[in-house]
């Protein structure tokens, strides 16, 4: 008996799967291009690239509604793309241009767009978790069913802000999901030297919430776990901690010589744990999407990124008069 | 069977402790809790205490990240600093960099066999034991659970496991008494073979994803070596059918939609998760019998975890076969106790209950 191929994979239909691939491809191409552009010296400030971690942002955000919120990290480009920020506006922002998503005043580490639920990248390590506690509380009081996700790194998981937020979210029983992107290094310090030998996910037990470890290179692994966590949060089940094991393909920041990493560590990570390659393998093997359809998306994304850079370079920088605008907000 | 050795120079004991077990999505969907690596390190420490008491001098361990070995070393250092009455066996951690993938276990088992270990103690879930069993040849394993959803490994105090394994490798208890041969399932496709210890299933889910299986509605067929009613996991489906399997037998169950299946059971497919499972048919499989599963796009699970995907026309066969030798901790410790009783009776020249207060 031969059965008909499923029209969905993990509950996602073809259109949704193509969107997921577009998100991951956009993140990858965006970061690869920023890597090149930063080397020209034309980008002010610092950039921290998300390449290698695409499955986490895409997997988590694929579970969210448009009116859900995410609070990001210093490595926030991927979260911004996955939550729906305008890619051209992001590129312009990183170049510090007036057409940027924050009018060129924020740069890489402060990309935010509340209209799509992106509460902002954050230069403060561990800065996102307290913010989503507030969002979660507001959603609970208003009974909107919104979910708030905080992304954090393994380094941030040692911060008081992170641990206090787990406690706060637990006692308030709010719909928050804390996603730890454990890439094995807090800046240049390996986990073995900064985590006291305890799994991050285990810390959830201490605050009365479930903690799960997933393969952060595998979109479907992240999506399956995040779906459960988001559903739980949306329906009043309280917060969840997801620890996603992953490897970043670049340094902590652009210019990082990465002398703390193994000799072939990055090559091996790219060879065996590339989220885009793993996703393509899964969906093509399942017979839901053809490789030619993915190549068409590759082409469209490449053109988008090219346009984004060209337009950003041509855009004006903020003027001196812009310095005193948008500094305070009046409620 | 297990390599044995003289009691004066007992063979080393291998330890495979999986740092990744006990942390998967079942913590979320089924209410499990995380088994952290600090506790796994403590379990190995207590195992070593038991091994030392039984006369084992050397332990060879798989390197493990995420703090497991670090936790073990802290326990050992604490014991040594405290001036404990007895020294622990020497600990050697194999010299290779862990990749945090199953290949670490394969690599470690191969190195342990080359070093002539008398037995391998495994801390992990069914999946970890499956990998060890596939590569440990005739060396016996002692199966300890460090998760919450296991059928093959036992939830057992590791000190007792150390005493029993020590009795095996020092020759204090005979292999005929201490070891049992477990059944297994050999899975084959066009391009791979693999071993399962407890169950093999096909599902309609075409990705491996988070690996765990908790959505019973996605199951097509199931083959199990264990059909005990008091079991959690996919094997519980067979366990609930009330079929008694003979040694070396397996059970094949054809599953269907609970809404239309002729028979529906409420089955604990995971700790904290009891769900309706539709039963279409079942049959007993004899030793060495080979079964061809229905083709279909989806995934194949081994011991409760999605392991690989298959296309619409891929052929998947399952053969009931011999599995690993397992150290029977209860039988081994009972044999030691019996030997104590015998020695006591000889010493006292009687067969009566011993009263220590007797003058």
Strand pairing report for B219-224 and B250-256: antiparallel
Q: Which of A165-169, A202-206, B88-92, B154-158 has the lowest mean pLDDT?
A: A202-206
Question: Is B24 part of the contact surface with chain A (CB cutoff 8 Å)?
Answer: yes
* Residue A5: per-residue pLDDT: 43
Burial class (CB in 10 A: 0-12, 13-18, 19+), B251: buried
* Residue B68: per-residue pLDDT: 85
* Residue B33: per-residue pLDDT: 67
Q: How many CA atoms lie within 13 A of A267 on its CB side?
A: 3
Give CA–CA dist A46/A48, Å, rounded. 7
Which residues of chain B have a CB within 8 Å of the CB of A237?
A: none
* Residue B1: per-residue pLDDT: 55
Burial class (CB in 10 A: 0-12, 13-18, 19+), B349: exposed
- Chain B, residues 32-61, CB within 8 A of chain A, namely 33-34, 36-38, 41
* Residue A193: per-residue pLDDT: 85
Q: Which of A205, A223, A262 sits opposite B34 (nearest CB)?
A: A205
Whether residue B204 and residue A199 make contact (CB cut-off 8 A), yes or no, is no
Closest by Cα among B60, B57, B15 to B40:
B15
Task: Give the number of other CB atoms < 10 A from CB of residue A173.
Answer: 17
Residue-wise pLDDT tens digits, B242-256: 999 988 899 999 999
* Residue A6: per-residue pLDDT: 46
Section A116-144 average pLDDT: 97
Q: In the block, which residue shows the tokens 């908790």?
A: B214
Confirm if A198 and B19 have CB atoms less than 8 A apart.
no
Residue-wise pLDDT tens digits, A220-250: 999 999 999 999 999 999 999 999 999 999 9
Residue-wise pLDDT tens digits, B342-353: 888 887 776 665
Q: How far is CA A324 from the centre of its chain?
A: 31
Confirm if A136 and A148 have CB atoms less than 8 A apart.
yes
Give CA–CA dist A31/B183, Å, rounded. 51
Which residues of chain A have a CB within 8 Å of the CB of B205?
A: 10
pLDDT above 80 (res A204): yes
Give CA–CA dist B173/B177, Å, rounded. 7
Which residues of chain B have a CB within 8 Å of the CB of A212?
A: 23-25, 27-28
Closest by Cα among B18, B14, B73 to B40:
B18
Query: Kind and range of the H or E element at B16?
Result: strand B13-17
Whether residue A287 and residue B23 make contact (CB cut-off 8 A), yes or no, is no
Alpha helices by DSSP H, listed for A65-216, are 77-83, 87-94, 128-142, 160-172, 191-194
pLDDT above 80 (res A1): no
pLDDT above 70 (res A215): yes
Section A144-170 average pLDDT: 97
Residue-wise pLDDT tens digits, A33-85: 999 999 999 999 999 999 999 999 999 999 999 999 999 999 999 999 999 99
ipTM: 0.76
- List all residues 6 or more positions away from A247 whose beta carbon is below 8 Å from its beta carbon: A52, A183, A184, A217, A265, A266, A269, A273
Confirm if B203 and B298 have CB atoms less than 8 A apart.
yes
Facing residues of A70 across strands?
A118, A149
- Torsion angle of alpha carbons B242, B247, B248, B249, nearest 10°? -20
Q: Nearest-CA residue of chain A relative to B34?
A: A202
Query: Kind and range of the H or E element at A37?
Result: helix A14-38
Task: Give the number of other CB atoms < 10 A from CB of residue B238.
Answer: 28
Positions of chain B with pLDDT lower than 50, given as ranges: 3, 359
Give CA–CA dist A49/B203, Å, rounded. 37
CA distance A32 to chain B (A): 26
Task: Give the number of other CB atoms < 10 A from CB of residue B347.
Answer: 9
* Residue A3: per-residue pLDDT: 40
Which pairs count as long-range contacts for B332-336, CB under 8 Å and 24+ apart, including other chains? Answer: B332/B164, B332/B167, B332/B168, B332/B173, B332/B177, B332/B178, B333/B160, B333/B163, B333/B164, B333/B167, B335/B167, B335/B173, B335/B174, B335/B177, B335/B178, B336/B163, B336/B167, B336/B172, B336/B173
Facing residues of A150 across strands?
A71, A178
Query: Kind and range of the H or E element at A152?
Result: strand A148-153
Among B23, B35, B73, B210, most A C-beta atoms within 10 A, so best to mutate, is B210
* Residue B6: per-residue pLDDT: 55
Q: What percent of chain A has pLDDT over 90?
A: 87
- Residues written for chain A: 331
* Residue B153: per-residue pLDDT: 93
Q: Which residue has the higher pLDDT, A183 or B4?
A: A183
Burial class (CB in 10 A: 0-12, 13-18, 19+), B164: buried
Q: Which of A208-212, A304-308, B160-164 has the lowest mean pLDDT?
A: A208-212
Section A6-17 average pLDDT: 86
* Residue B2: per-residue pLDDT: 52
* Residue B359: per-residue pLDDT: 47
Q: For residue B246, give the DSSP letter.
A: P
The two structure tokens encoding residue B268? 């604990």
CA distance A144 to chain B (A): 23
Give CA–CA dist A235/A276, Å, rounded. 31
Question: Is B189 part of the contact surface with chain A (CB cutoff 8 Å)?
Answer: no
Whether residue B296 and residue A232 make contact (CB cut-off 8 A), yes or no, is no
């Amino acid at each position: 008996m031969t059965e008909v191929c499923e029209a969905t994979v993990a509950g996602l239909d073809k259109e949704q799967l193509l969107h997921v691939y577009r998100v991951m491809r956009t993140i990858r191409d965006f970061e690869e291009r920023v890597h090149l552009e930063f080397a020209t010296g034309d980008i002010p400030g610092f950039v921290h690239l998300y390449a290698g971690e695409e499955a986490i942002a895409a997997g988590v955000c694929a579970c969210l509604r448009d009116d859900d919120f995410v609070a990001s990290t210093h490595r926030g480009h991927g979260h911004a793309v996955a939550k729906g920020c305008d890619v051209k506006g992001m590129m312009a922002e990183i170049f510090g241009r007036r057409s940027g998503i924050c009018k060129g005043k924020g740069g890489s580490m402060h990309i935010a767009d509340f209209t799509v639920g992106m509460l902002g990248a954050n230069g403060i390590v561990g800065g996102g978790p307290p913010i989503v506690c507030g969002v979660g509380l507001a959603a609970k009081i208003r009974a909107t069913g919104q979910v708030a996700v905080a992304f954090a790194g393994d380094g941030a998981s040692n911060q008081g802000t992170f641990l206090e937020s787990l406690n706060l979210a637990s006692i308030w029983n709010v719909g928050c999901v804390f996603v730890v992107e454990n890439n094995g290094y807090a800046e240049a310090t390996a986990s073995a030297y900064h985590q006291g030998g305890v799994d991050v996910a285990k810390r959830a037990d201490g605050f009365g919430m479930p903690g799960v470890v997933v393969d952060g290179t595998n979109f479907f692994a992240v999506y399956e776990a995040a779906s459960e966590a988001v559903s739980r949060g949306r329906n009043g089940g309280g917060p969840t901690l997801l620890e996603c094991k992953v490897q970043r393909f670049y340094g902590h920041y652009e210019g990082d010589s990465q002398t703390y990493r193994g000799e072939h560590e990055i090559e091996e990570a790219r060879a065996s744990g590339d989220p885009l390659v793993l996703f393509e393998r899964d969906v093509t093997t399942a017979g839901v999407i053809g490789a030619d359809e993915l190549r068409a998306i590759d082409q469209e994304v490449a053109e988008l990124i090219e346009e984004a850079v060209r337009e950003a370079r041509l855009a004006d920088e903020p003027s001196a008069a812009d310095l005193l605008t948008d500094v305070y907000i009046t409620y | 069977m297990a390599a044995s050795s003289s009691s004066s120079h007992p063979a080393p004991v291998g330890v495979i402790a999986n740092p990744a077990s006990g942390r998967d999505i079942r913590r979320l969907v089924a209410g499990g809790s995380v088994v952290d690596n600090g506790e796994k390190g403590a379990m190995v420490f207590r195992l070593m205490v038991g091994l030392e008491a039984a006369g084992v001098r050397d332990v060879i361990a798989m390197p493990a990240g995420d703090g497991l070995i670090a936790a073990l070393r802290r326990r050992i250092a604490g014991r040594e600093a405290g001036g404990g009455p007895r020294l622990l066996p020497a600990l050697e951690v194999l010299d290779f960099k862990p990749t945090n993938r199953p290949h670490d276990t394969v690599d470690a088992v191969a190195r342990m066999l080359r070093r002539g270990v008398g037995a391998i103690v495994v801390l992990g879930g069914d999946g970890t034991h499956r990998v060890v069993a596939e590569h440990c040849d005739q060396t016996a394993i002692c199966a300890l659970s460090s998760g919450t959803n296991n059928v093959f490994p036992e939830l057992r105090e590791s000190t007792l496991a150390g005493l029993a394994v020590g009795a095996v490798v020092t020759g204090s208890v005979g292999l005929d008494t201490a070891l049992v041969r477990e059944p297994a399932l050999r899975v084959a496709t066009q391009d791979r073979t693999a071993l399962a210890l407890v169950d093999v299933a096909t599902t309609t889910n075409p990705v491996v994803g988070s690996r765990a299986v908790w959505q019973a509605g996605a199951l097509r067929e199931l083959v199990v070596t264990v059909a005990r009613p008091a079991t959690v996991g996919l094997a519980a489906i067979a366990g609930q059918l009330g079929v008694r399997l003979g040694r070396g037998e397996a059970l094949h169950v054809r599953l269907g939609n609970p809404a239309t299946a002729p028979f529906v059971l409420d089955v604990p497919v995971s700790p904290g998760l009891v769900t309706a499972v539709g039963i279409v048919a079942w049959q007993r499989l004899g030793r060495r019998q080979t079964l061809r599963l229905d083709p279909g796009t989806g995934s194949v699970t081994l011991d409760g975890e999605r392991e690989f995907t298959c296309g619409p026309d891929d052929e998947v066969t399952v053969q009931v076969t011999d599995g690993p030798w397992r150290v029977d901790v209860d039988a081994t410790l009972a044999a030691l106790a019996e030997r104590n009783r015998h020695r006591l009776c000889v010493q006292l020249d009687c067969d009566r209950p011993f009263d220590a207060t007797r003058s």
